[in-house]
Structure formats: structure tokens, C-alpha cells
Amino acid sequence: MKRSPWRYLWSAQDIRRKLLITFFILVIYRFAAHVPVPGADLVAIQGILARGGAGGTLLSLLDLLSGGTVSNFSVLAMGVYPYITAQIILQLLVPIIPSWQQRMQDDPREGQKWMDRWTLILAVPMAALQAVGQINIFNSFSPGTPIISNFGFATAASTFNTLTIVISMTAGTMFAIWLGELISEFGIRNQGLSIIIFAGIVARIPSNLYSVFVNKSYVWQTLLIIAFVLVGTIFAIVVVQQGRRNIPVMYPGRRMGNRMSMPVKGTLPLMVNMAGMIPLIFAQSLLTFPAILASFFTQSSIAWVKNLATSMQNIFGGNSSAYWVLYFLMVVGFTFFYTNVLFQQQNYGENLKKVGARIPGVSPGAPTQRYLNRVLSRITFPGALFLGLIAIMPWLLSLIFPFMQGGSSTLLITGAGLLIVVGVVRDLFFNLEAELKLHGYDDAVLIR
């Protein structure tokens, strides 16, 4: 009788221990997510969310991705995103700095360890800068009642207060990163940070579901549309994320005494969506920046400056059609850009040449790299369009169904959040399946 290895998921002692450790660490993370920043005015934050506009849109997005830690301004309000930002910065700098690129090419394993170490170091100042910027931005959206009073470096008291808050928020971010590392080491292997982000996103879904019942006139119609769209979107994400273009590769045979074995046929899989959800974060960050900048000038005494600032907030605040069109175009553009950066770091042309492998009909070295670049550009195009559509899906739904107004919470989760959730669940599935097979629980036919 053929038995699925999943029936042994809980009976395998080692795997059960890893699952319990992961769950216990997530419980600690969720408790820490409710520890507020000293002196935070939660009423002012709720006022920004209620008013909407650029401030409300930005806070809603950050709150959704952080699992509700922004709405209560927890010490984990930044989550692990400073670490991700540091990681992206270093990845973009590698092809620019020749010595770094050479280090990564000479010994990829040691180069990755070096990259991980410096990403962790860079995450500390990035977290401190993001804490200062986040508080200043939120205070600008609520000038009458600031979220953090007496924030700045004007006096000794305000300096002490500012340093205390920045240190506590930076410590919260590093604590979240540490929990993620513990999960990767003692829990689900190599998925710690992803599971931390996943937990934050999923934790916000019940609150968004409640808002559907409270704020919607067509509750059941909305729920049916959400269920249909989510199921279809999840299916499409899985298909696209699994999409590969297998390039045939001929590897040289091995020497067997005085003879050489026949060349070995293999494939080089190129992903349809290599960039993941990073383009959505890039585009969202750049699009909200003009609205944030304009918020400092909305109270200007100069008429044309005030009008320009108001127009910028209306366009880039997330409530206009121009915002969503720009969002779609920027996601598509950033997908091509980031995919090209990641692919150039792999340097498949030279790596295949070093091991004596080649693609049939293509010269080794630089011609192979150019050929792979052309193929990757073609298969990235549908992946980029797909990411763009995922990003603007709430807006498209509001156009088709006018009663489904609600921004990011329309689908209970943002496009970037849905990509993260599906990706983490898929990776978790494959990881646990590999663990089960490693312990001997495979799909072998067992006889009673």
C-alpha cells in the first residue's frame, strides 16, 4: 500500500521538535509585537488611519506588512525590513564594486557568508535611520497631535527622549532578526526571517476581515468576490513562481581509465519570476516618497507651494488612478532591473565555461551569457506583467465592483503580502517534505 510521508509529520520526533520550537518562537514574537514604544500616542495614529490620504495609505500598508505593529506603534513596528533593505543595498552594490564582485565569484560560499555578516551589521544603522524617518513622517501627518512628543535634538531632554525611542525600536528590529535566526537554526531550516514576516502578515487578516463586516454595505457579495479572487490569485502565483525555462546544457564526460565517458545532458532552469516581491517594495517606497515630501509643505503660507503640495498628495496618496498606473509601470520596470542585477551576479557564462559545459549551438563564455540574457528577458516579461497586475488588483476590483472600496484591505492582504504568504507556504511544504524523506518517510510502497 502506498502511503504519503505527510502522515508521519507529527510522529517524526525531530520534525515535531522543530515545529514546536518554531511555534514557540512565533508566540514570543507576537507577544513582543504588543510592547509599545515609550511615549507613543496611539490616538494620533488612529486619527491618521481614519483620515486616509497619503498618510493613511502609507500607515495602512506598513501596518498590513508588519502584522498590526504600526497601528499600536510597537517596538517591532519596523519588523525585519531594515535587514531586507540592507540586503537589497548590498546586492545592488556587488556588481558596482569590482572587489566585491570578485569576492563573490571566487568563492560563492564564503562570499555569501561575508554578505550575510555585513548585511547584519548594516541593518543596525538602517534600523536607526528608519526609526527616525518613520517617526518624523508620522509626526508630519499629524501636526496638531504628534505621535511622539518632544522628538528631536533641540534640548537635552528631547535628545535623551529621542535616543531612548530610537534605541528601543532598533533593539526591537534586531530582536526580531534574532528570533528569525533562531528559527532557521533550531526550527524550520533556512526560513526564519520569511516565517517572521509571514506571521506578521497573517496576523493582520482577522482584523481586515472584521473591517469588511463593519464597513461594507454588500458584505456577502464582497466576501464571495474576495474568496474567488484569492483562490484564483493564489493558483496563479503558484503557477508563475513554479514557472521555469529549462535551457539544455551539455556537461563533459568523466575520465574512466584511458577513455572518456559520453557527455552528460543537463538543464539550466531560468525562473519566470526571479525577483520575487522586491519590485513591489521598491515601487511602493518610491511612489510614497513624493507624498511624504509634500506633507511638509501643505501648511505653507505661499499659495502656489501649498497647492502644489496638495496636488502631489492627491496624486501619490494612493487614492488616484494616476498612482495605480504609475505603480503598475514601476513594478514592471523594477522587475526587469532587479532580475538583471541578480542574474548578472550568477555569471553563468563564465561558470559554465570553467567546468567545460556548454549550451548546444552557443559559444561558451560571453556569447552564452548574452544568449541567457535574451532568454531571461523574454520569460521575465510575462512575470513582470503578472507582478504589476497583482500590485494593482485592489484598484482593478474597485473599478469593476464600486462597492469594494477599501484600498489594501479590500483583499484582506496586499499583493506583496500575498506573494510572501504563498511563497513561504510553498517553501515550507517543500522543506518539510525533504525532511520527511531524509528521515526515511518517503512514498515507498509498504506492505502490512
Query: Tens digits of per-residue pLDDT, 377-403?
Result: 899 998 899 888 888 887 787 777 776
* pLDDT band at residue 145 using 50, 70 and 90 as cut-offs: confident
Q: How far apart are CA 44 and CA 442, in angstroms?
A: 55
For residues 242 and 203, give the distance between their C-alpha atoms in angstroms, rounded to a whole number: 26
pLDDT at 175: 92
**Position 424, amino acid:** V
H/E stretch holding 395:
helix 393-400
Q: Which of 73-77, 107-111, 293-297, 302-306 is most confident?
A: 73-77
DSSP percent split of the chain into helix, strand, coil, nearest 5: 70, 5, 25
Residue 141 and residue 2: Cα distance in Å, rounded? Answer: 61
Q: Which CATH class is domain 1-204?
A: mainly alpha
- In this predicted structure, the answer to whether residue 132 has a pLDDT above a threshold of 50 is yes
Q: Which part of the chain is CATH 1.10.3370.10?
A: 1-204, 215-412
Task: Give the per-residue pLDDT at 292.
Answer: 63
Mean pLDDT of all residues in 307-329? 78
Q: Considering the entire predicted model, what is its pTM?
A: 0.75
pLDDT digits (tens, 9 = 90+) for 319-353: 678 888 888 998 899 899 888 888 877 778 888 88
The predicted structure's pLDDT at residue 444: 44
Percent of the chain scoring above 70 in pLDDT? 81
Q: Does 118 have pLDDT greater than 80?
A: yes
DSSP assignment string, 95-109: TTSHHHHHHHHH-HH
Q: Are 280 and 392 in contact (CB under 8 A)?
A: no
pLDDT of residue 21 exceeding 80, the answer is yes
Q: How far is CA 156 from CA 147, 150, 160, 161, in A?
A: 20, 11, 6, 9
Torsion angles phi and psi, residue 443, rounded to 5? -90, 30
Lowest mean pLDDT: which of 7-16, 109-118, 147-156, 238-247? 7-16
Please give the average per-residue pLDDT across 180-186, as a whole number: 88
CATH level 3 topology of 215-412: Preprotein translocase SecY subunit (1.10.3370)
For the record, the C-alpha cell of 429 comes out as 511544504
- Residue 227's pLDDT band, with cuts at 50, 70 and 90, is confident
- Burial string for 249-271 (b: 16+ CB within 10 Å, else e) reads beeeeeeeeeeeeeeeeeebebb
Residue 316's pLDDT is what?
72
Q: Examine the pLDDT at 408 and tell me if it is beyond 50.
A: no
Q: What contacts 132, CB < 8 A, 6 or more positions away?
A: 162, 166
231-242 pLDDT per residue, tens: 888 888 888 888
Least confident of 70-79, 108-117, 248-257: 248-257
Cα gap 364→369, rounded to integer Å = 8
Burial string for 206-243 (b: 16+ CB within 10 Å, else e) reads eebeeebeeebeeeeebeebbeebeeebeeebeebbeb
Answer with the residue of higher pLDDT: 4 or 202.
Answer: 202
What pLDDT, on the 0 to 100 scale, is given for residue 359? 86
Question: For position 407, what pLDDT does the model report?
Answer: 46
Residue 62 clears pLDDT 50, i.e. is over it: yes
**Cβ-proximal residues to 327 (8 Å cutoff; 6+ apart), any chain:** 283, 284, 287, 388, 391, 392
CB 286, CB 330: distance < 8 Å: yes
CB contact set of 5 (below 8 Å; sequence gap of 6+): 433, 436, 437, 441, 442, 443
Percent of the chain at pLDDT above 90? 4
Structure confidence at residue 259 as a pLDDT band (50, 70, 90): low
More confident residue, 29 or 398: 29
How buried is 188 (Cβ within 10 angstroms: 0-12 exposed, 13-18 middle, 19+ buried)? Answer: buried
Average pLDDT over residues 282-307: 72
For helices 108-141 and 156-186, the axis angle rounded to 10 degrees is 140
Per-residue pLDDT at 152? 75
Distance, CA of 252 to CA of 261 (rounded, Å): 8
Q: How far apart are CA 407 and CA 395, in angstroms?
A: 7
CA 340 to chain centre: 18
Could you tell me if 221 and 205 are in contact, meaning their C-beta atoms sit under 8 angstroms apart?
no
Query: If DSSP codes are grouped into helix, strand and coil, which group holds residue 445?
Result: strand
Give the pLDDT score at 354. Answer: 81
Instruction: Answer whether residue 1 shows pLDDT above 60.
Output: no
Flag whether pLDDT at 438 surpasses 60: yes
Predicted pLDDT at 446: 38
Mean pLDDT for 200-213 is: 76
Half-sphere exposure of 220 (CA within 13 A, CB side): 0
Q: Are 398 and 410 in contact (CB under 8 A)?
A: yes
